[in-house]
Amino acid sequence: MLISPAYAQTASGAAQGGGLAGFISLAPLLLVFVVFYFLMIRPQQRRMKTLQSAIANVKKGDSVITAGGLVGKVTKVEDAFVEVEIAANTRVRVVKATLSEVTPLGGKPAND
């Protein structure tokens, strides 16, 4: 009555061709996710994997930094704990999981 037959026909025709239009409308969202994955998620996973392998392979004489900010030299390694010398004759037991950086013995300092 109020809608002309020509307008009703074009509306149903647009609904049938909506598959390609729906994909095109989702393409930018998919593109953002792919870029986010390659620029953010993948490098972070790689850094975590290298940190976990460094923590698993920590040995006596390595220099470590804990998550709490303590910097010291490893004097004893156990299964879940590491003994760190933070000053002369001052040793602290630290949980391995709290190590945030491991520099091997004889490693090059970051600022050289």
Which fold, 21-103?
A: SH3 type barrels. (2.30.30)
Q: CA-to-CA distance for 57 and 44, rounded, in angstroms?
A: 20
Is pTM beyond 0.85? Reply is no
- Give residues with Cβ within 8 angstroms of 103, minimum separation 6: 62, 63, 64
* Ordered per-residue pLDDT tens for the chain, 112 residues: 566 665 555 555 545 556 788 888 899 999 999 999 999 999 999 999 999 999 999 999 999 999 999 999 999 999 999 999 999 999 999 999 999 999 887 666 655 5
What letter represents residue 49's amino acid? K
Reported in sequence order, the residue ranges of 4-98 that DSSP labels E, i.e. its strands, are: 63-66, 71-77, 81-87, 90-95
Alpha-carbon distances of 92 from 54, 59, 63, rounded to whole Å = 20, 16, 14
Q: CA-to-CA distance for 100 and 63, rounded, in angstroms?
A: 11
